[in-house]
Amino acid sequence: MKAKDTAGKVELWRTQNERLKQDWACLKCFQEENRQIGLPKPGERRVVFMGNSITARWGQVDSIFFAGKPYFNRGVSGQITAQMLIRFRQDVIDLGPAAVVILGGTNDIAGIGGLVSVETVFGNIVSMAQLAKANGIRVVLCSVLPVFDYACCPGMEPVAKIADLNQRLKAYADKNDVVYLDYFTSMAAENKGMKTSLTSDGVHPNKEGYHIMEPLVDEAINKALKK
């Protein structure tokens, strides 16, 4: 069984690696779906969730949350903020949403795309917020979720970096009429990692974790739409 699991992981890595070579930002991931969706109907107030695997898994772990709402999940597993920024126009702006929920940065801090500064990650997220605002889209900026250590990339010491990035995001939001959504406080344990009851791997929320996030994001979206 372990051999099969290892073989499966190797094949998945090969597939993902090949995709990255051909389409680094995964622009093809949602191109056809975006085309079919088209622009909003009169009175439709769409909300796009832009993110990485934490966003991508949300609809899989708790699909009921998205059902019947004008919410569009545009999360791509493994993405860093530079990749999110590249596809922001296609996967957010071109859908004509009333608001966007931006949750990213943890993969940058894990060093998945190479070592980058917190300042660079912050700049990528701010660039997405600025693009949204320039196109009349309300913005919800999310805190990075708590992580004590990454199983995929141990030893990155993310606690201080996450705190730094979240502080920068909140300060930007406060100064620029943007809603800041603090997931961190409700999900953090004493060691500043995620509470064990809310995650299976210390990084991604489980169903209980998403249940903590859902009322918080609904409240933040409603607040943003009233601005």
Averaged pLDDT score across all residues of the chain: 92
Q: How far apart are CA 24 and CA 43, in angstroms?
A: 35
| Distinct helix (H) and strand (E) counts, the chain | 10, 5
| pTM (predicted TM-score) | 0.90
Q: Report CA 98 to chain centroid distance, whole Å.
A: 18
State yes or no: pLDDT of 5 exceeds 80. no
Beta strands at 138-142 and 71-75: parallel, antiparallel or unpaired: unpaired
Are 21 and 76 in contact by the 8 Å Cβ rule? The answer is no
Q: How far apart are CA 204 and CA 55, in angstroms?
A: 9
pLDDT at 19: 63
Beta strands at 71-75 and 99-103: parallel, antiparallel or unpaired: unpaired
> What would the pLDDT profile of 188-202 be if each residue is shown by its tens digit?
999 999 999 999 999
Least confident of 20-24, 77-81, 127-131, 151-155: 20-24
Are 102 and 128 in contact by the 8 Å Cβ rule? The answer is yes
Residue 9, judged by CB atoms within 10 A of its CB (0-12, 13-18, 19+), counts as exposed
Buried b (16+ CB within 10 A) or exposed e, 101-118: bbbbbbbbbbbbbeebeb
Where do the domains of the chain lie, and which CATH numbers do they carry? 25-225 (3.40.50.1110)
Confidence of residue 16 (pLDDT cuts 50, 70, 90): low
